Each structure stands twice: as C-alpha cells, then as structure tokens.
C-alpha cells in the first residue's frame, strides 16, 4: 500500500507562524504607505486651493478675499456651529451660497483631505455629541484672518475693519506667512486632561483666527490641526501635526504645540505664522 504524503502538524504550525510574522511586518508598512498617500492627496488639494486663491488675487489687484466669505458667500456659514460638514450649505449643492473663490476651481474635492475625513468620521461625534448634522465633510481648510477684510459688515469709523493687511504686496515675507491651514476641529489639550489648552475655538467656518497674547478676547484662538502622523487611539489625537499653505504656494507640516517667547509673552505657532507684518510680529500690544 502507498501512503499519502502531506504536511505534519508541526510543519503547518511553522508555515502559519511564518505567515503571521510576515503579516506583522507588512501590515504596518502598508498602513504607513496608505497614510502617506492620503497626506500626498491632502497637500495636493491644499496647493490647488492656493493656486485658485492666487489666481483670484491676480484678477483683483492683489486684494485678498475675506476669510469669512471666500468659498461660501458672507453669512452662509455661522461662527460657532458644526456646519463644515453640512452638505446642504455647500455651493456644490446650493450654487446661491458660492463665494468669490468658488469659480476658480472645478471640483469641491480640493477643499478636503482624506485623513481629515477618516478621522472626523471616527471621532467627531464622540468629541462633540451635540453636533447632529450628518458627517459629510465639505471643507477642511481655513484662511488666515489677517489677510483681507474678514467681514464687510464689521464697520469701524465708517469702513470695514482690517485686522492685518489688504493686499499681498503688504506682506513682509510670503514664504513664512500662513495663507490657508488645516484647522483643528477640537480643543487641543496637552497633555490630555491637564487643562492646558492651545486653542479656544475649533473649525466652524473658513476663518483662521490666531490671537495675540494680549488680545482682549483672550490669548487663545484657532489652531493648526493635529491629526496627521498619529495612531488610531483617540488619546493620541493631539500629538500630530497639520498642513499649512504659505503665500508663496508651498505646503508643509506644522505643529500647534510649539511656542515662541518674546519679552515674556508666549506666542503660539499659529499666531507667529499668521501675522503678516514682520516688523511688528512680536509687538507687546495687541495689533488689532
């Protein structure tokens, strides 16, 4: 009689162990590659938004559009709400809500980032249970409030208030001045449960408002996001970094929890990058 050849139990266990070992090596590498691909798309989208914004400047005498009325027209997005993922308000759904920038790009996809979308769908309702709008992110980027007139309805001495500069020619160093940034959608606390917050506001409109330490409204404002380069654990949500588009068109990662101390005042990274006038960037009084 001929005996049938086959694997012994030991041999099967060895093969399974080898496969498990290979998976343990490959899966993290695949996850890193997937995240790198998402980051690449995010940077590309942000650069496309920058190209559209610079094209608008070229057509409008170098004058910046307002941070509250760029993608959406003024008063469509209300400060303090969770409308950044409200599809009903999007100009793609409702053309009447389109702001002056909308006509400069051909797809709304450049307004979001794959990493942003996945993180928000994973955590947002856990962090903000009062937000009842269906999770369908429409934009992830906010414009520097110090560039242009933020609100045409905010009148001072008969003229719309200007926080920083009106034209790009007034910016001291475009390569170091934030134009658009990924804004945090939650309050950044370092470390978690320490009570040490980096920002007082979260993404709710397209306005990125960093604040001077002597600001009468408080020293904390908006902050650069922290959801790139973090593990999936919600406890590590504040350890990452966010993409920033500068006025010269380049994009790079920046961290929110880095401070600059000058004359006893602590300036957040968000403020240092946002303020466009180098000669008065670290003045001792609030510039607006």
Each residue's pLDDT tens digit, 228-281: 988 777 888 999 999 999 999 999 999 998 888 877 888 889 999 999 987 666
> What is the predicted pLDDT for the residue at 3?
56
Dihedral sign computed on CA atoms, order 212, 239, 135, 45: positive
Whether 4 maps to a domain, the answer reads no
208 is a domain residue: yes
pLDDT at site 248: 95
Query: Greater confidence, 108 or 28?
Result: 108
Residue 287, in any domain of the structure: no
Residue 17 placed within a domain = yes
Q: The pTM is what?
A: 0.87
Give me the residues paired with residue 265 across strands. 262
Task: Tell me, yes or no, whether 54 lies in a domain.
Answer: yes
CA distance 262 to 259: 10
Domain count, the chain: 1
CA distances from 82 to 122, 123, 147, 206 (A): 16, 14, 24, 12
Is 1 inside a domain boundary?
no
* Residues near 153 by beta carbon (within 8 Å), at least 6 away in sequence: 74, 75, 160
- pLDDT tens, 95-125? 999 999 999 998 999 999 999 999 998 898 8
Domain of 241 in residue numbering reads as: 9-280
Assess if residue 3 is contained within a domain: no
Q: What is the pLDDT of residues 135-155, one digit of tens each?
A: 899 999 999 999 999 999 988
């Amino acid at each position: 009689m001929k005996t049938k050849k086959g694997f012994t139990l030991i041999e099967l266990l060895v093969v399974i162990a080898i496969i498990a070992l290979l998976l343990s090596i490959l899966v993290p590498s695949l996850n890193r590659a997937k995240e790198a691909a998402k980051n690449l798309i995010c940077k590309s989208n942000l650069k496309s938004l920058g190209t559209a914004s610079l094209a608008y400047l070229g057509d409008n005498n170098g004058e910046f559009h307002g941070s509250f009325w760029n993608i959406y027209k003024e008063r469509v997005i209300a400060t303090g709400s969770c409308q950044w993922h409200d599809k009903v308000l999007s100009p793609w759904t409702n053309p009447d809500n389109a702001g002056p920038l909308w006509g400069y790009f051909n797809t709304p996809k450049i307004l979001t980032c794959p990493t942003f979308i996945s993180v928000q769908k994973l955590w947002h309702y856990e962090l903000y249970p009062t937000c009842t709008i269906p999770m369908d992110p429409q934009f992830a980027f906010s414009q520097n409030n110090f560039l242009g007139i933020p609100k045409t309805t905010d009148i001072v001495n008969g003229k719309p208030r200007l926080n920083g500069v009106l034209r790009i020619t007034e910016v001291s160093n475009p390569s170091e001045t934030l134009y658009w940034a990924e804004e945090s959608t939650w309050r950044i606390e370092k470390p978690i449960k320490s009570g040490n917050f980096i920002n007082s506001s979260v993404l709710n409109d397209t306005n990125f408002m960093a604040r001077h330490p002597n600001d009468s409204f408080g020293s904390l404002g908006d902050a650069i996001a922290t959801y790139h380069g973090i593990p999936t654990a919600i406890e590590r949500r504040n350890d990452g970094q966010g993409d920033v588009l500068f006025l010269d068109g380049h994009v790079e990662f920046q961290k929110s929890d880095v401070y600059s101390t000058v004359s006893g005042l602590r300036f957040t990274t968000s403020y240092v990058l946002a303020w466009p006038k180098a000669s008065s960037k670290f003045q001792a009084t609030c510039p607006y």
